[in-house]
Structure 1
């Protein structure tokens, strides 16, 4: 089309737009909702990522952080760190803190700091004194600060005293914030901040204890990232067996950044699903609008307008209206980071900076535009080819078949581009591909389901009920709502069922099945010289219980087949094994809760080269095979072992499990502590409290974790995630509801004619309401059945194949899905029907 025709199309489009946006409110709402979801989620994720990056020094606690497990630096290592700037030493250990009289105790995450802490930022407490002054020793008593939750849990007040290990500490202030908390990772218990000297006095810093030592360096002002990387490389060259984990200010919280990225990708895909669902609403709105404009289109064609000109006029109008929806969505998306910056501060200790993020908004706008075009091209193309005589004669645009091939190909090409963009902008392209593929498959299957429902209605035997006969006729008649309603509501309900089943199964595993299999307690940091006395005490306190104890060390995988793990590309699902320190053990016999799947176990008196048994699933994800070698750094020494076998590990049992189990000769003479579990089906809450009290009093250095308390914390985390996931699913469901109401509204004109003709032929209002109710019930039930099946399959795949957990179908989810489907279809349908039945017959009959 030349510029003259384009200008003419713009002029006619502008004139028709003077009538306003009537009939396009749902169109605009669908586009705005999807764009806001995609743009908002990505903007918030970028805000958090930027906040972490900009505050890297504060969040890390320095320009560089060197982390060691179970040991402190050697004099040579300490001298090396001091060469590059001011150093602060922190030590973290999970232990029990108890009241002075021993009447109560609880688990804490103890963090010991020196006088130089913090190098960046500030520790905020209810006192104005420096943190070093608040936790220093006074009259033989060390100070401590803790958050309010610890005071509440033990019924304490400022000035009260608690016992950590063998040392008494005075609680001198309430801990409000600590600048580097996020880099220390997630904790299962309240913080207790003390001094390094205080922790040493407690007796908890013993050889082999599970203590995490952090050494943070404040480098000279102006130190570049290249210089930091040079120091990291030098550390590797000078101390190749140090086994320390090194982070810099640009990588202050890698786990948080990774989780935020994954979660934002997931929510983006859900938002895209909502936008695709909204695309059905776009198609309905465009079709209804063109149907209402058939007289105008006929006039254009009668006066000599070409089909291309007609197509251009209405495409311009659709794009203008879509632009309004996209603009509204972008405004909402731009506001989200500012709202999140206030909300997230109260939920997680992470920075979030408000701002406008053009990249995130541009991506959302692009998705909105492409969805509009993908769903608008076909109805526009169909209207382009309908002759003027047919437009004047017929009621609408239905029944005209597919438009010419160029429009079909264009719509398909845009849809493919949309899928490619969704996968291309995702960090985990495998998951994105599965998600997009599942959405496309569900879209196609729902079209088949809609056609199948119409076919069954058409071929159903003749029934005596007039209302049911009318309902079945309405389901399959030309221009019926069935395809649109099944498609729009089906996608939203399928996503809702999938997420509800995943959430329900997770909760069931955590709070249902697992406690029946799980031990009552985990005991950590049992010293080698105390393990027999500890076992004797447990046997006396819980004679019916079963105590399992194993040696426990911490190790970091350094190399596989002599190749540095940093140079190995590992799939995301297996990368966690090679990231950070792992708990490891040695054993003469295979663990109880695992079975050999490949290879053989070593003899009890084995004394050859070091061997290791690897978890089969994790080994497969990394790409290991029998005979491969694994180099692990333990206590500053690299140990290389050959893989002798693979084990199927029952992680869900919550018993003692390790990815790597070594032959006993591997760590001969290495200092280590012990890990134990106690399982007692007969123990009551009071029994568990008594056991916990006895162990804490007699073995103050042993950390006791009550499994029920840990499960409660995990449940809270799952609940918080579930809120976000349900909100995302809610966005898709809202889009479905909008499309549903739009589809019903688009069909109202035909319903008015049907109702008037039927009333003229003697049908009562009651008969018509019953017929319409039965029609909506049939469509709603068909949609719900599909959603239950498709959502059940999707949830099963995620739970069993990705999470590796047993899956169960939850009846309450099925019932709620059917109820939601019927309420939405029947409810919205009857609201529109009631208005339809109120029209007077004469004006309608005159138009026929």
Structure 2
């Protein structure tokens, strides 16, 4: 008797899990990456831009941090305006370490008949430079170069000064009452960054020479900086913190501006952070534009895999399994593109450091930045997921028969809710990363809002264009009729082309409008209404003689002269300035010394925003008028008590009114303007502007500056044209960097455009073969496609110009605070080029299709 046969166990259908999806995806990828070229290029380009910018910024930041002592000239620096440190103050600093001193101010270098020029004077002591190396040509000890001999002091000058006045080493110039022999060219200073941007070339001299010039008058705008180097045994951060806290407690009324090696160049660091954020956002723009290319590539991938999807579903695979396998495949490709971008971005700082090693005036330390690279990788992968999930999700619910029928009748159903949720979560992650790693979240939020609005508007434009084409009357021309039908049929290129072209043209147009507005402001608008000269450090006792001098040298010119002092805000309503939470735009008001003045009348270019102006004969408590915009930024209101330190004394004044100031006029105006009784009897100099009348007579600018240096050796003249040219040079350099970075976004747009056209080539192949079989000529087919591309390109370009104009207007008027110039020339050129590129790209692909015989393709369609 046979034992009963046990039935075979039922087969187990376990979920495949990530391992199976990964194996099947990897097997499929072994067949090659055909069709993913633009996908990879778009991701690599965007990730490279973000990684390169972040890594380069990290290199600069670490260089500044590592070289903080050299940049600062010590572990801590204590600065005073107008006056030197008192013996007790100097003794306090010396009790904590060795002290070196420099004095900086502006002056006039007089070369006799060769002219005079504004210079940035740095007067050093005998220990300079205590940290770092001073490089001169010829190289020699600085003490010998600056030594006095035969009643002439030595000096080291920036070669720009020698070229400007046609001088050579060994020539003698005058600065104030002192004669200086130029003994060497200045090549580099170890502490150059800490001094900030100047309007004139550097002139290095001894402090004995500075005292001999006679420029050190009461109220002169000279900055004395005392650099403290801690003993080697006590140079750690704890000792530095002890010094800073003790100085803040025991020398609170000294009026120091204090910096440490940790923030040796705070202004430069802030600007670096802002510029890094801007370039990162440009890189993110390139990545988002590239995301459209990712979506196009995934759609093309889905279209090519329809038979595979149908086969897998026919043998029992679920829709979720099909999507999971191919999403894994797509993300593996995204990881490859991201990795390429990371490698290129990580290498960029090293290439930059090598290329600019001899000319970069910054302590740049190229380094691998794992944190920044991880953020760039996160940007890339999240962007790929956002743009890939919906095209892939469409295949989940489409039945097998529909997948086969999709060859001629595309299914228009929406993806499941789960894929919409995944897309939303990925998008939220992308936004969260952008906000979490932004230097200024407000700017990041504005950027996110603008980009979201542009994407939505472009999508609406494409829908509107397709709806308009669908409802338009049928034209009589066959080519035009076919072009119209192609623009709204299922699978039309309209959405992809509008998005890629619109974004690219919008970016180009915005840059064009910003560039022309900035250029017009610097080269035309300001010089027409700005003063010709600013004159600094006019001695109070010689102010009347100075007025007479100007009247003789520039008949008919308008002279405006006001008292000039420097003061630092100490507290507001008893709250220390360093404890006040100021906005980013107004923080500079609390950072260091500010120019101040007093007057019984309100200056031109100002008007009362709130409060009242004081009477001409006012004799009560000290009052102050404050710029309304910056008052709001630091939380200052009418009636508040403002304490400023001037010449070592703390003076408290009540805020009597707030003014709206027109700064662009370049007239004399101040953030803080006090009632005259506040500084009665205080020593000060004067600041004056001279505005030459149109076609006014008088000495040339060069002659005026030469005579001024002779008659008023202590007065400094700043020609506004030179100052504007210096600013224009800086702005031009920044604009070049911005255009270069924005070129990545433009390159991404071109890649997306090429990808969109390539994604539509299969449909174009089908159409072309059928049309050729039915007798259509190449000319007819080409003209139809050219009309289609031109129409879509024209609408996209026009929208891009409008969107770019609005974005440019926002940046120019709200961020830069200058007048917007509505010159569309550059934007229209960009739009024309975009339309031309679209037509050329499209026709190039069509010509390749038309060159093939119909028979070899019809059997496979």
- Please give the range of the TM-score, normalised by the shorter of the 2 chains: over 0.9
Residue 327 of structure 1 pairs with residue 339 of structure 2:
yes
Residue 757 of structure 1 pairs with residue 770 of structure 2:
yes
* Closer/same/farther in 2, CA of residues 399 and 550 from structure 1, 3 Å limit: farther
- Per the alignment, residue 116 of structure 2 pairs with 105
- Per the alignment, residue 581 of structure 1 pairs with 593
* Closer/same/farther in 2, CA of residues 544 and 2 from structure 1, 3 Å limit: farther
- Per the alignment, residue 809 of structure 1 pairs with 822
Partners of 2:21 and 2:429 in 1: how far apart?
Answer: 27
Residue 256 of structure 1 pairs with residue 263 of structure 2:
no
2:223 to 207, 212, 220: 212
- Per the alignment, residue 694 of structure 1 pairs with 707
1:448 to 438, 460, 463: 460
- Per the alignment, residue 514 of structure 1 pairs with 526
Q: CA RMSD in A?
A: 1.6
Aligned partners of 1:294 and 1:396 also within 8 Å: no
- Per the alignment, residue 90 of structure 2 pairs with 78
Aligned partners of 2:512 and 2:827 also within 8 Å: no
Residue 834 of structure 1 pairs with residue 850 of structure 2:
no
Aligned partners of 1:291 and 1:397 also within 8 Å: no
Partners of 1:682 and 1:184 in 2: how far apart?
Answer: 38
Partners of 1:494 and 1:347 in 2: how far apart?
Answer: 35
Aligned pairs for 1:747-786 (under 5 A) are 747-786=760-799
Structure 1 residue 495: deviation in Å? 2.2
Partners of 1:196 and 1:808 in 2: how far apart?
Answer: 49
1:626 to 628, 635, 638: 638
Partners of 1:266 and 1:69 in 2: how far apart?
Answer: 34
- Per the alignment, residue 7 of structure 2 pairs with none
- Per the alignment, residue 611 of structure 2 pairs with 599
SS in 2 for 1:572: coil
- Per the alignment, residue 194 of structure 1 pairs with 205
SS in 2 for 1:705: strand
* Closer/same/farther in 2, CA of residues 355 and 582 from structure 1, 3 Å limit: same
- Per the alignment, residue 555 of structure 1 pairs with 567
Aligned partners of 2:121 and 2:203 also within 8 Å: yes
Structure 1 residue 119: deviation in Å? 1.5
Structure 1 residue 587: deviation in Å? 0.5
Partners of 2:69 and 2:654 in 1: how far apart?
Answer: 40
Residue 45 of structure 1 pairs with residue 66 of structure 2:
no
Residue 540 of structure 1 pairs with residue 534 of structure 2:
no
Normalising by structure 1, we get a TM-score of 0.98
Aligned partners of 1:102 and 1:697 also within 8 Å: no
- Per the alignment, residue 326 of structure 2 pairs with 314
Aligned pairs for 1:136-285 (under 5 A) are 136-222=147-233, 223-285=235-297
Aligned partners of 1:383 and 1:397 also within 8 Å: no
Partners of 1:386 and 1:295 in 2: how far apart?
Answer: 12
- Per the alignment, residue 669 of structure 1 pairs with 681
- Runs (4+) off by over 4 Å: 1-5, 343-348, 683-686
Structure 1 residue 343: deviation in Å? 4.6
Aligned partners of 1:166 and 1:700 also within 8 Å: yes
Structure 1 residue 722: deviation in Å? 0.3
* Closer/same/farther in 2, CA of residues 246 and 808 from structure 1, 3 Å limit: same
Structure 1 residue 623: deviation in Å? 2.3
SS in 1 for 2:362: coil
Structure 1 residue 153: deviation in Å? 1.2
After superposition, give the CA deviation of every residue in 1:156-181 in whole Å (9 maximum; x if it has no partner): 11111111111111111111111011
Structure 1 residue 398: deviation in Å? 4.2
Structure 1 stretch displaced more, 128-137 or 323-332: 128-137
- Per the alignment, residue 129 of structure 2 pairs with 118
2:722 to 709, 712, 716: 709
After superposition, give the CA deviation of every residue in 1:418-476 in whole Å (9 maximum; x if it has no partner): 11210111021011000011111111111111111111111222222222221111111
- Per the alignment, residue 445 of structure 2 pairs with 433
- Per the alignment, residue 146 of structure 2 pairs with 135
Aligned partners of 2:398 and 2:411 also within 8 Å: no
Aligned partners of 1:344 and 1:352 also within 8 Å: no
- Per the alignment, residue 18 of structure 2 pairs with 6
Unaligned runs of 5+ in 1: none
Partners of 2:841 and 2:174 in 1: how far apart?
Answer: 64
Partners of 2:183 and 2:475 in 1: how far apart?
Answer: 82
Aligned pairs for 1:722-741 (under 5 A) are 722-741=735-754
After superposition, give the CA deviation of every residue in 1:518-543 in whole Å (9 maximum; x if it has no partner): 01111111111111111101001111
Partners of 1:575 and 1:661 in 2: how far apart?
Answer: 19
After superposition, give the CA deviation of every residue in 1:549-607 in whole Å (9 maximum; x if it has no partner): 01100011111111101111111011111111111100010001211121111111101
Partners of 1:257 and 1:737 in 2: how far apart?
Answer: 35
Structure 1 residue 619: deviation in Å? 1.4
Residue 421 of structure 1 pairs with residue 453 of structure 2:
no
Structure 1 residue 347: deviation in Å? 5.7
Aligned partners of 1:752 and 1:839 also within 8 Å: no
Partners of 1:459 and 1:692 in 2: how far apart?
Answer: 73
SS in 1 for 2:232: coil
Partners of 1:399 and 1:296 in 2: how far apart?
Answer: 17
Aligned partners of 1:275 and 1:371 also within 8 Å: yes
Structure 1 residue 308: deviation in Å? 2.1
Residue 301 of structure 1 pairs with residue 313 of structure 2:
yes
- Per the alignment, residue 9 of structure 2 pairs with none
- Per the alignment, residue 79 of structure 2 pairs with 67
* Closer/same/farther in 2, CA of residues 319 and 74 from structure 1, 3 Å limit: same
Structure 1 residue 4: deviation in Å? 4.2
- Per the alignment, residue 388 of structure 2 pairs with 376
- Per the alignment, residue 734 of structure 2 pairs with 721
Unaligned runs of 5+ in 2: 1-12
SS in 1 for 2:534: strand
